[in-house]
Chains A and B, each alone.
Chain A
């Protein structure tokens, strides 16, 4: 199984809402990533979990809160977002946290903040 799944596919939320994005992989990968992608731009790294520990936080605002409950699951908790946070949020996984391995991406969650 070489699939990374993400739910939901689409999410519309108000600025006062709290919601969560979910990501799952069953490839035995020990590194998982959250990226944010705006239209016609490359993905921007937000967080890296390596062996279930947060190893990289790219100075992401605290209204984004990642969580890695186990080696297969990755969540991104959202609270008090701004309209400029509207984007495609991509989850990815790889064999380890090093850049030496290809990353497998999920289909993304299209987030709209109203």
Chain B
């Protein structure tokens, strides 16, 4: 079953603006990850936030995690045309040694030059 659910499904912004994407999930997790996928290519890992962390930064990326609301947000600041891609959140489901990642449906971000 799909764990993460991103919101919105699609987002179109102007270059230089900030982009905020949200992810909600259903069950307890050990960590939540965000990935980016350019059209027809492999996924690129962006950031991993553990269940005991509330906020994490990496360059122009800021991720928050609210385990009480079972939600996470990804903020991309000062967006660039090169940020145009699909973004997926993925959760591990707090399973044991064989816990797997389950990906949300994804958000399509378009950054207009």
Residues B103 and A55 in contact, CB atoms below 8 Å apart:
no
Q: Check A59 for interface membership: any CB of B closer than 8 A.
A: no
Pick from A6, A40, A43, A98: contact of B103, CB below 8 A.
A43
The residue among A6, A45, A55, A98 with the most chain B CB atoms within 10 A of its own CB is A98
Residues B48 and A102 in contact, CB atoms below 8 Å apart:
yes
Min Cβ gap B2→A in Å is 7
Return the CB mask of A94-114 against B: 1 if under 8 Å, else 0: 000111111111111010000
Return the CB mask of B70-113 against A: 1 if under 8 Å, else 0: 00000000000000000010011101011111111110000000
Residues from chain B with Cβ under 8 Å of A105 in the complex: 35, 42-45
Pick from B2, B30, B40, B97: contact of A42, CB below 8 A.
B2
- CB within 8 Å for A98 and B99 given contacts A42-B88, A42-B104, A42-B105: yes
Pick from A48, A104, A108: contact of B100, CB below 8 A.
A48
- CB within 8 Å for A45 and B101 given contacts A100-B31, A100-B92, A102-B48: yes
Task: Determine the main DSSP class of B at the interface with A.
Answer: loop
Residues A99 and B40 in contact, CB atoms below 8 Å apart:
no
Min Cβ gap A43→B in Å is 6
Pick from A43, A55, A107, A110: contact of B98, CB below 8 A.
A55
A residues contacting B by CB (< 8 A) are: 4, 6, 40-43, 45, 48, 50, 55-56, 88, 90, 92, 97-108, 110
